[in-house]
Amino acid sequence: MQPYRSVLFVPAHKTSWFAKAIDAGPDAVCFDLEDSVPEHLKAGAREQVAEAVAAYSQSHPALGLFVRPNSLGTRLTGLDLEAAVVPGLTGVFAPKVDSALDVVRYDALLDHFEARAGVTGLEYIIPVETIHGIQNCEEIAAASERVGAMIGPTAEHADIAKAVGFEWTPEGLESMVHRTKILLATRAVDRHPLTALWERIHDLDGLRDFSIRSRRMGFRGQIVLHPSHVPVVNAVYTPDAEQIAFYRGLLETYEAAAARGDGAVMYGEVHVDKAHADKATEWLARVDTLASLNGGLPSA
């Protein structure tokens, strides 16, 4: 999966919001057919998702396009995917996954609807929203090649708060244990680690602090609820110019030393060897990948 920094949610029946969401510059959007859509509007929303995916996959080819269907327990998942799996769709935001078996159930549905639509390569973003999901996160992460990302959640009012029973704080210490467990599960099988969720729409300073703390934990992107959050989140998860210059200089210094036959060298105050050079190489490649995403590299 691409290393999406920002995945912006949009209610699938709010078509007038689609363009504003795209214009905010997220790396990906997720059209929500689940909780944000009233029952009597779900059928129409399915068709609107299909139309939006067809249009935006052409106009914004670097934009990730996901759909969140209703969960397997509702018996609406098949109807949602039958309509939404069309050429241009990137993947499925798969809710309420409790175990590897649930991933297999999603796989069976997608195998069918991909074949019908002539689509291949759909991926999952899996939000860990339940106690069983937390307990089984390692097997969920490894259950299918379609699993591209998982979310280590902390939210004031979302499903995870009810499931765990924590009392939310901006600092997030109450969710540190389960978020770390999910983060390590993604790293073990090379999945993209995302986090969520900052629900206080107008508190951009709080959002920035939350995003920085999450990045320092090891997360590389997050779910966002409002277009105004996108530039903040993209900036936090993008290395700044000073960091880029540091790693480029480190790599150049090491390569020059290696050419002289030296396996280690000082770079400023830092002792540098092959491990440092390998990290710099990987780190700079990530910057190049971020530049190719829909959000691009934020302006300095």
Annotated binding-site ranges for substrate: 68, 129
- Label residues 276-295 b or e (16+ Cβ within 10 Å = b): bbeebeebbeeeeebeebbb
Angle at CA of residue 210, ends 206 and 216, nearest 5°: 145
Annotated binding-site ranges: 68, 129, 159
Annotated binding-site ranges for Mg(2+): 129, 159
Nearest to 181 by CA among 167, 164, 165: 164
d(CA 295, CA 5): 8
d(CA 282, CA 268): 21
- Which residues contact residue 138 at a Cβ distance below 8 angstroms, ignoring those fewer than 6 apart? 185, 188
